[in-house]
Amino acid sequence: MLRTVLPHGLTVVTEAMTSSRTFSVGVFAGVGSRHESAARHGASHFLEHVLFKGTRRRTAEQISAAVESRGGELNAYTTKEYTCFYARVLADDGDVAVDVLTDMVTASRVRSADVDAERAVILDEIAMHADDPSEVVAEQVADAVFAGSGLGKMVIGSPASIEAMSRDLVVRHWRQHYRPGSLVVAAAGDVDHDRLVEQVAALDAMPVDGPEPRPVRALPAVERPALVVTRRRVEQVQAVLAYPGAGLFDDRRHAAGLLAAVLGGGMASRLFVEVRERRGLTYGIDAGETTYSDAGMWSVEFACAPDRLATILDVVADQLDRVVADGVTATELADAKSQMRGQTVLSYESPSSRMGRIGTAALLGDGRSLDEVLARYDAVTPEELRLEAARLFGQRPTLGLVGPRVPSAVTRRWG
Amino acid sequence: MLRTVLPHGLTVVTEAMTSSRTFSVGVFAGVGSRHESAARHGASHFLEHVLFKGTRRRTAEQISAAVESRGGELNAYTTKEYTCFYARVLADDGDVAVDVLTDMVTASRVRSADVDAERAVILDEIAMHADDPSEVVAEQVADAVFAGSGLGKMVIGSPASIEAMSRDLVVRHWRQHYRPGSLVVAAAGDVDHDRLVEQVAALDAMPVDGPEPRPVRALPAVERPALVVTRRRVEQVQAVLAYPGAGLFDDRRHAAGLLAAVLGGGMASRLFVEVRERRGLTYGIDAGETTYSDAGMWSVEFACAPDRLATILDVVADQLDRVVADGVTATELADAKSQMRGQTVLSYESPSSRMGRIGTAALLGDGRSLDEVLARYDAVTPEELRLEAARLFGQRPTLGLVGPRVPSAVTRRWG
């Protein structure tokens, strides 16, 4: 990997992959919903939409056509911690992709008419999310687990905040947060580092207006709700059982990650075997982590018929208790490590996934190589795993449910 | 690409990708829901589930663990025309992956208890699909467009057919349809063709029982409904406007594919620009093709607030009429061809996508190379595109809706 930091702070990271005929590039800005005040709720995502609407050199259609007419992909997404604009193209089209992305991020016009048109689109996007029970349950659990912190807020904003969002506020958000020192350009595949550094110089010269954003609040010590329920007329209940967990740079997350693999990391995991294979109670069940730079969440997720919910939750609670009491076997731990290694190598096979990894690592300040991360997973001991289980599952969990009804046995035990 | 046909008819196709450290392999069986009688509705998918439940050498957990404990992926899916079992692993784990897949497909025990456990899981899977409005609208439109043909039936079966499915019927389905001559093994990445041919010999020796399946019925000339509606208490309406289209081997599909690109193939397409960019009426709108070996469907899809449905449908109808009347511009056609070429190259970048392409091509009898297919797209003329638009949009469409209500303006025009 090559890395260059330009005079005003823009970081460029690249990884050349010989034999790749394609090129993936992303512009990462260190701003997401956790950095937003109540009045700006959804501003990062709103801005992401608006930057596709036209620059001094290109209309919205010309922006899209420049990449799509060559079969490439041009898109963007906003998370709670950052915003990413990216393109994936044939190697010969790399210059065009970089030029379009740089143009969008530095020279968008942000006209009032465009802000109003995107307001309608985003309100539709909110309605679309609200129609998906699995998204609703994820959002309400995050809101409960990260209560009082910016990490609980939805990326997309609320209908009220989006209705009230002005052009002026969107532009101020852009000028305040898209500072060269908060921007990273990452590329992988058939890439020429020095050429890319020259091409993105405009990003290092972006004008800045407004105070430097203050560091975001860590997780406050507030009481979290034990049970959050949304009633929906659907056939299945969507359930998430969540515990506050380790952040990205917390050394404990290696044990927490392996614990997720043993308990719910695939069809041979304890929860899948107990709940689906042995009892046929649900189509699937997973355990996993959600990690942000300074906090995280460890959770079990499944969907089921309402009359099976109490039984499944009992099986899950029993399995978590067993790990706290007895730990895991040497074979389970070895398999989890081997699984983590294989998954990691397989998941960074393509230029686009490689670009995503080096871009977010540079943005969030993660200096570890993949090999270093894997070595740390390999070093986790059985006792470390048991201690992390005791720490995680010793906390009071939050149970999130979206479904037609909540059996009283569930309310009694988990409410 | 290398290709070997074994004595009883098993076909093995491979594509070695130098510099790949991974290996993707799939076993394809030429059976899906279109080959099922009413009593067997869902049998292909049911069988796919049951083949993960244990062989003479391995329990269900050992099947999963063999691949997952190395970080690999082992999974399967069933379509209307075929069933695929696949694995994606690090190159060193290729032998294990091939051994597990061969073992599952040839030597599963298919115990009654496993059939009953999977019955419960599949009934849950049906409920899960029923909770997703975008899946419901897709299924009901397919049912209408392919009315009277096996292509309209849901892959997963119905609650009644799944409740009644016996172990005996599942085994007979397996023995009748998993004939060596209907099986294909495909692999891509770091692969040794000759070694793979040796490893899968057991698939060529599979026992066969029951009559050779008869060729499936082509599309019958029945009257298709103009409007199919499912009422759901959701915020948005999911809409699909569909026309019967060309099959995979029909030369007309090249013009139809380019037409989909011009009208709804991304953010610079006519429909996206008119409906979202200019009018902000919806979050997104796409046009695309669904193709089977002998029939297909050309459709426009979007979701919107109910009170915007009539307006959007008017804009769509107007855009389709314009293409029939005036064709597309030379620039639009050139861009659509360039887009098709770039997308094709980008989409076959990974070993797993390459494996999928060569496997389905061998199974369905598509002997064309990618370059040949792309050359045919390049040769499409403006007049050919206009004629295909006239042919497609001259048919009566089927409009599928899932949502809270249907405005009367929509019923009047489209019912």
Supply the residues of A annotated as catalytic: 48
Report the residue of chain A nearest B270, measured CA to CA: A61
The DSSP letter of residue B53 is S
pLDDT tens for residues B363-374?
999 888 889 999
Does residue A117 belong to the interface with chain B, where contact is any CB pair within 8 Å?
yes
Q: What is the mean pLDDT of residues A369-388?
A: 94
Q: What is the mean pLDDT of residues B7-31?
A: 95
Q: What is the pLDDT of residue B21?
A: 87
Per CB-CB distance under 8 Å, the chain A contacts of B88 are 346
Distance of CA A58 to the CA centre of its chain: 30
Describe the strand order of the beta sheet including A398-403 as a list of residue ranges. A227-231, A398-403, A237-245, A296-304, A285-291
Please tell me the distance in Å from A262's CA to the nearest CA on chain B. 10
**Segments making up each domain of chain A, as ranges:** 2-205, 227-414
Per CB-CB distance under 8 Å, the chain B contacts of A273 are 60-61
Which residues 89-108 in chain A show a CB within 8 A of chain B? 89-90, 93
Per CB-CB distance under 8 Å, the chain A contacts of B130 are 235
Which residues 186-225 in chain A show a CB within 8 A of chain B? none
Q: What is the pLDDT of residue B215?
A: 67
Please tell me the distance in Å from A81's CA to the nearest CA on chain B. 23
**Which site among B17, B89, B111, B128 would you substitute to test the A interface, given the most A Cβ atoms closer than 10 Å to its Cβ?**
B128
pLDDT tens for residues B235-275?
999 999 999 998 999 999 999 999 999 999 988 899 999 99
Question: Which of B124, B125, B350 faces A350 most closely, judged by CB atoms?
Answer: B350
**Which site among B19, B46, B50, B68 would you substitute to test the A interface, given the most A Cβ atoms closer than 10 Å to its Cβ?**
B68
pLDDT tens for residues B91-106?
999 999 999 999 999 9
* Class of the CATH-defined domain A2-205: alpha beta
pLDDT tens for residues B276-313?
988 989 989 999 999 999 899 999 999 999 999 999 99
**pLDDT interval class at B131 (50, 70, 90):** confident
Q: What is the mean pLDDT of residues A211-234?
A: 83
Question: CA A401 → CA A147, A223, A283, A306, distances in Å?
Answer: 17, 19, 17, 10
Does residue B280 belong to the interface with chain A, where contact is any CB pair within 8 Å?
yes
Per CB-CB distance under 8 Å, the chain A contacts of B236 are 124, 127-128, 131
Q: What is the pLDDT of residue A370?
A: 87
Report the residue of chain B nearest A279, measured CA to CA: B117
Report the residue of chain B nearest A17, measured CA to CA: B19
Report helix angle B330-347 to A60-68, nearest 10.
Answer: 50
Task: Classify strands B183-189 and B73-78 as parallel, antiparallel or unpaired.
Answer: unpaired
pTM score of the predicted model: 0.88
> Per-residue pLDDT for A151 more than 70?
yes
Contact state of A60 with B89 under an 8 Å Cβ cutoff: no
Does residue B113 belong to the interface with chain A, where contact is any CB pair within 8 Å?
no
Per CB-CB distance under 8 Å, the chain A contacts of B121 are 276, 280, 282-283
Does residue A164 belong to the interface with chain B, where contact is any CB pair within 8 Å?
no
Report the residue of chain B nearest A261, measured CA to CA: B69
Q: Which tokens in the block code for residue B74?
A: 């082992």
Per CB-CB distance under 8 Å, the chain A contacts of B89 are 342, 346
Closest CA to B34 of B157, B184, B116: B157
Q: What is the pLDDT of residue B150?
A: 83
> Per-residue pLDDT for B216 more than 80?
no
Closest CA to A163 of A122, A112, A110: A122
Question: Which of B131, B266, B282 faces A68 most closely, judged by CB atoms?
Answer: B266
Name beta bridge partners: B3: B13
Q: What is the pLDDT of residue B250?
A: 93
Describe the strand order of the beta sheet including A183-189 as a list of residue ranges. A2-5, A11-16, A183-189, A22-29, A83-90, A73-78
Closest CA to B115 of B53, B38, B177: B53
> Per-residue pLDDT for A122 more than 80?
yes
Residue B39's CB: how many other CB atoms inside 10 A? 11
Q: Count the helices and strands in chain B (H runs, E runs).
A: 17, 11
Tell me if domain B2-205 and domain B227-414 are identical in fold. yes
Does residue B373 belong to the interface with chain A, where contact is any CB pair within 8 Å?
no
Give CA–CA dist A400/A194, Å, rounded.
49
Residue B94's CB: how many other CB atoms inside 10 A? 24
Contact state of B265 with A346 under an 8 Å Cβ cutoff: no
Which residues 226-245 in chain B show a CB within 8 A of chain A? 233-236
Question: Per 3-state DSSP, what percentage of chain A is helix, strand, and coil (rounded to 5)?
Answer: 50, 20, 30
The pLDDT > 90 percentage for chain A reads 86
> Per-residue pLDDT for B222 more than 90?
no
> Per-residue pLDDT for A101 more than 90?
yes
Q: What is the pLDDT of residue B259?
A: 98
Contact state of A52 with B21 under an 8 Å Cβ cutoff: no
> Per-residue pLDDT for A116 more than 90?
yes
> Per-residue pLDDT for A121 more than 70?
yes
Q: Which of A214-228, A311-325, A398-412 has the lowest mean pLDDT?
A: A214-228
Amino acid in the structure at residue B226: A
Contact state of B268 with A65 under an 8 Å Cβ cutoff: yes
Please tell me the distance in Å from B202's CA to the nearest CA on chain A. 25
**Which site among A48, A131, A238 would you substitute to test the B interface, given the most B Cβ atoms closer than 10 Å to its Cβ?**
A131
CB pairs under 8 A between A and B: 177
Give CA–CA dist A96/A85, Å, rounded.
14
**Which site among B277, B329, B338 would you substitute to test the A interface, given the most A Cβ atoms closer than 10 Å to its Cβ?**
B277
pLDDT tens for residues A279-306?
989 989 999 999 999 899 999 999 999 9
Contact state of A345 with B90 under an 8 Å Cβ cutoff: yes
Please tell me the distance in Å from B60's CA to the nearest CA on chain A. 8
Contacts of B61 (CB under 8 A, 6+ apart): A267, A268, A273, A277
The pLDDT > 70 percentage for chain B reads 98
Question: CA A45 → CA A157, A366, B104, B298, B386, distances in Å?
Answer: 8, 24, 46, 33, 40
pLDDT tens for residues A184-205?
999 999 999 999 999 999 999 9
Region of residue B194 (phi > 0: left; psi between -120 and 50: alpha; otherwise: beta): alpha
Q: What is the pLDDT of residue B415?
A: 86
Please tell me the distance in Å from A216's CA to the nearest CA on chain B. 31
Contact state of B68 with A266 under an 8 Å Cβ cutoff: yes
Contact state of B125 with A283 under an 8 Å Cβ cutoff: yes
Q: Which tokens in the block code for residue B149?
A: 């043909």
Please tell me the distance in Å from B324's CA to the nearest CA on chain A. 22
Coil, helix or strand for B55?
Answer: strand
Does residue A350 belong to the interface with chain B, where contact is any CB pair within 8 Å?
yes
Closest CA to B344 of A71, A162, A415, A363: A71
Per CB-CB distance under 8 Å, the chain B contacts of A125 are 283
Q: What is the mean pLDDT of residues B27-34?
A: 96
Please tell me the distance in Å from B30's CA to the nearest CA on chain A. 25
Are A246 and A252 in contact, with CB atoms under 8 Å apart?
yes
The DSSP letter of residue A308 is G
Contact state of B71 with A233 under an 8 Å Cβ cutoff: no
Q: Which tokens in the block code for residue B298?
A: 């050309």
Per CB-CB distance under 8 Å, the chain B contacts of A272 are 64
**pLDDT interval class at B199 (50, 70, 90):** very high
* Class of the CATH-defined domain B227-414: alpha beta
Question: Which of B90, B233, B280 faces A346 most closely, judged by CB atoms?
Answer: B90
pLDDT tens for residues A245-267?
989 999 999 999 999 999 999 88
Question: Which of A125, A267, A344 faces B283 most closely, judged by CB atoms?
Answer: A125
H helical segments located in A182-329? 193-199, 201-204, 253-264, 270-271, 309-326
The pLDDT > 70 percentage for chain A reads 98
Does residue A273 belong to the interface with chain B, where contact is any CB pair within 8 Å?
yes
Are B224 and B398 in contact, with CB atoms under 8 Å apart?
yes
Are A263 and A255 in contact, with CB atoms under 8 Å apart?
no
Q: What is the mean pLDDT of residues B404-410?
A: 92
Contacts of B161 (CB under 8 A, 6+ apart): B38, B39, B40, B41, B42
Give CA–CA dist A127/A264, Å, rounded.
31
The length of chain A in residues reads 415
Amino acid in the structure at residue B81: E
Per CB-CB distance under 8 Å, the chain A contacts of B115 are none
Q: What is the pLDDT of residue A215?
A: 67
Per CB-CB distance under 8 Å, the chain A contacts of B234 are 131
Distance of CA A210 to the CA centre of its chain: 27
Supply the residues of B annotated as catalytic: 48
Coil, helix or strand for B105?
Answer: helix
Contacts of B35 (CB under 8 A, 6+ apart): B44, B150, B177, B213, B216
Task: Indicate the average pLDDT of chain B.
Answer: 94
Per CB-CB distance under 8 Å, the chain B contacts of A235 are 127-128, 130-131
